[in-house]
Amino acid sequence: MPIDPSAVGKTGGPVNYKWTSKDALLYAVGVGAGTGDLPFVTENSKDTPQRVLPTFAVIIGGGGAPFDQIGTFNFAHLVHGEQGIELLDEIPAEGEIESTGKVSAIWDKGKGAVVEMTSESTLVATGKPLLRTRMSVFIRGEGDFGGERGPSPSVEIPDRKADHQVSYTTSVDQALVYRLSGDRNPLHSDPSFAQLAGFQTPILHGLCTYGFTGRALLAELCGGDPSRFKSMDGRFSKPVYPGDELTVSMWVDGNHCTFQTRNQGGDVVLDQGTATFS
């Protein structure tokens, strides 16, 4: 059967996920952290306890998302559209979480369907909520089922110069490192597969671009302190290639930030960005 709009509200899980210090270190390197980010890339530097990048939430969170309850579809037609994270506490260097997920929305976009999943994760060691994630995917060919189109983008970029701007250059090998955190899709590593998908060369993982952007937000908004990083949402708008330069522009209003990430050609690659911090 095709996408089932009555699946909204269905739940999945609980599922457990464990991570180690090494997992967190590998993720940090995968999103470009280096010698200037010792708390995130080492666990044995003098007077520098290991800490975890807030966007590591996309690796450990999201558990229990009940994709098996929304009907049948071709996973090759699924594209990651949006990603959001909310941190309820600082992520420890190692630990275990228990997550439950929910189908929070299904929208009819005509040429396809947008499915939104939310998940909440509790740290097993304390029994306290640690993080929440939200993701939406666009599934080509699954629209026109008579449902509502859903909300339109509402984040507007302020008509003034950005308050902060940070540029990072991704490595030509960036996707090969990032994939070791779990996403082994050959679209990001196999030239022949990428060409079959319509790209000249493998593209960078969207969540890697998300991680680079999160590093910029953490540095400029939180002074590098993960405990001050509260939430981040964004929409993937254009592919990024390993070796591209990413420039993150931020407009701040109190404890709220609107942001946008562009490549070296000025194209927006991560849009509709919002973040909160303390």
Residue 124 corresponds to which tokens in the numbers above?
């097993």
Q: Please report, for residues 53, 61, 218, the alpha-carbon distance to residue 93 in angstroms, rounded to integers and kept in the order given.
A: 10, 15, 17
Active-site residue flag, 203: yes
Q: What share of the chain is helix, strand, coil (3-state, %, to 5)?
A: 25, 35, 40
Residue with token string 């007077």: 47
Active-site residue flag, 183: yes
d(CA 259, CA 176): 27
Q: Please report, for residues 83, 117, 195, 196, 197, the alpha-carbon distance to residue 200 in angstroms, rounded to integers and kept in the order given.
A: 26, 31, 5, 9, 9
Active-site residue flag, 127: no
Q: Which of 183, 205, 214, 234 is catalytic?
A: 183
d(CA 156, CA 74): 34
Q: Which of 188, 205, 214, 271 is catalytic?
A: 188
Q: Which of 61, 71, 95, 206 is catalytic?
A: 206
| Spatial CA neighbour of 270 closest among 210, 197, 198 | 210
Active-site residue flag, 188: yes
- The 8-class DSSP code of residue 75 comes to G
d(CA 211, CA 37): 14
d(CA 276, CA 258): 9
d(CA 13, CA 64): 4
d(CA 274, CA 156): 10
* Strand 256-262 relative to strand 245-253, pairing: antiparallel
Annotated active-site positions, please? Answer: 183, 188, 203, 206
